[in-house]
């Protein structure tokens, strides 16, 4: 019996100031795509703002398209300012650093699309905005590069005009960007905006459930990124159109175990579930040179679990000790070189519990 499903360079560490963003108030929205949310156009509180949005690990093994987590210390920055030379109600991308491949046309840029969607929600008609994007994440890395740009842009626009939108609307704005770039999936954009672990309970309507990992427990992500690009659309195309009932049941049970482990702060259980995917990882791993050997090396070195981060090519493992994580990362780097003939870089990072946030502003 089969069940049919419709599947749709080195990293740089980042230092930033503590968040000033408000708490997460709402996680449900019946709108499928961004619509005008405010009837009265808000006045800007600042002449310029700067925001940050973190990298994310999507899927987490068996949670394809419905589970994701934010990673501390890696991500993208967006600087946004009111610009009288820009047509009112429009966005102009004045500068992009960290990548030469991105379009400066806001209609074809993740940050631009999300900024425009947020402006539409806020009913911004009287002000033109100039946007600068600083890429801290490489494209096609499996670390939510497009989502980080979109989340940072959405938050920047929202903060510039007084933070009128809830987190659910910001996710929808980012989701419009994701839909045009890599597919309609929220497992990167939701944690990029909200921080922590996030469960996407439903897409129609969009329902998001934050999963709170206990602060008393230690959790470290070992991220190993090879010099290899794995475009999300290409990696999604490799997925099966049908899934057998035994694998469906197995993945469902392991996704449940992963959620329970997150809520209980059980890093060992989290790692075990993370490593258990029988549907997506088996199709994608062969497309990333050395990935299967890297996973074996991580487990052998003591990692509690290892899988592909998002669509790849980054491999992600979990552990509860930072120094041990560094040792595991080195073994994974060696495996990528020996088995896949790919150079790679390893980082050990904590969970980002905050998500996209304002980090600087200039009052009017």
Domain boundaries, the chain: 46-213+352-363, 220-350
- How far is Cα 174 from Cα 203, in angstroms, rounded to an integer? 14
The listed CATH number (3.30.70.890, 1.10.357.10, 3.40.50.2300, 3.30.470.10) that belongs to domain 220-350: 3.30.70.890
Least confident of 20-34, 63-77, 120-134: 20-34
The pLDDT-based confidence of 19 (bands split at 50, 70, 90) is: very low
- How far is Cα 328 from Cα 315, in angstroms, rounded to an integer? 12
Residues near 51 by beta carbon (within 8 Å), at least 6 away in sequence: 77, 78, 80, 152, 153, 155, 156, 159, 356, 357, 358, 359
Residue pointed to by tokens 């947020």: 118
Q: What is the mean pLDDT of residues 313-334?
A: 98
Please tell me the predicted confidence (pLDDT) of residue 22: 39
Which tens digits make up the pLDDT trace of 171-213? 999 999 999 887 789 999 999 999 999 999 999 999 999 999 9
The pLDDT-based confidence of 27 (bands split at 50, 70, 90) is: low
Which tens digits make up the pLDDT trace of 247-303? 999 999 999 999 999 999 999 999 999 999 999 999 999 999 999 999 999 999 999
- How far is Cα 83 from Cα 290, in angstroms, rounded to an integer? 48
| Helix-helix angle 110-122:145-160, to 10 degrees | 30
Side-chain-side CA neighbours of 124 within 13 Å: the count stands at: 26
CATH architecture of 46-213+352-363: 2-Layer Sandwich (3.30)
The pLDDT-based confidence of 234 (bands split at 50, 70, 90) is: confident
Please tell me the predicted confidence (pLDDT) of residue 28: 54
Residues near 86 by beta carbon (within 8 Å), at least 6 away in sequence: 92, 128, 129, 130
Q: What is the number of other CB atoms lying within 10 angstroms of the CB of residue 152?
A: 36
Token couple for 241 = 């159109």
């Amino acid at each position: 019996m089969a069940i049919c499903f419709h599947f749709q360079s080195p990293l740089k560490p980042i230092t930033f100031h503590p968040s000033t963003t408000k708490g997460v108030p709402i996680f449900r929205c019946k709108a499928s795509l961004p619509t005008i949310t405010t009837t009265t156009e808000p006045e800007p509180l600042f002449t310029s703002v700067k925001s940050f949005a973190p990298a994310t690990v999507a899927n987490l093994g068996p949670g394809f398209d419905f589970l994701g987590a934010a990673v501390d210390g890696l991500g993208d920055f967006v600087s946004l300012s009111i610009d009288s030379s820009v047509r009112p109600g429009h966005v102009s991308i004045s500068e992009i650093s960290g990548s030469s491949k991105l379009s400066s046309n806001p209609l074809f840029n993740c940050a631009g699309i999300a900024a425009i969607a947020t402006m539409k929600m806020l009913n911004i008609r009287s002000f033109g905005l100039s946007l600068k994007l600083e890429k801290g994440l490489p494209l096609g890395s499996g670390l939510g590069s497009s989502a980080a740009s979109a989340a940072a842009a959405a938050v920047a626009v929202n903060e510039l005009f007084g933070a009128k939108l809830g987190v659910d609307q910001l996710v929808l704005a980012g989701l419009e960007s994701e839909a045009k770039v890599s597919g309609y999936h929220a497992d990167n954009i939701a944690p990029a905006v909200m921080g922590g672990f996030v469960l996407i309970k439903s897409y129609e309507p969009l329902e998001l459930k934050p999963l709170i990992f206990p602060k008393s427990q230690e959790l470290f992500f070992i991220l190993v990124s090879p010099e290899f690009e794995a475009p999300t659309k290409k990696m999604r195309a490799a997925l099966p159109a049908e899934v057998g009932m035994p694998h469906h049941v197995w993945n469902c049970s392991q996704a449940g175990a992963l959620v329970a482990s997150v809520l209980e702060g059980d890093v060992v259980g989290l790692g075990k579930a993370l490593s258990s995917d029988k549907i997506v990882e088996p199709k994608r791993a062969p497309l990333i040179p050395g990935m299967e050997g890297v996973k074996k090396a991580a487990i052998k070195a003591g990692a509690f679990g290892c899988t592909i981060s998002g669509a790849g090519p980054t491999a992600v493992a979990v552990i509860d000790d930072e120094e041990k994580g560094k040792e595991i990362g080195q073994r994974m780097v060696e495996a990528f070189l020996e088995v896949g003939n790919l150079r790679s870089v390893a980082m050990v990072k904590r969970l980002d519990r905050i998500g996209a946030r304002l980090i600087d502003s200039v009052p009017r």
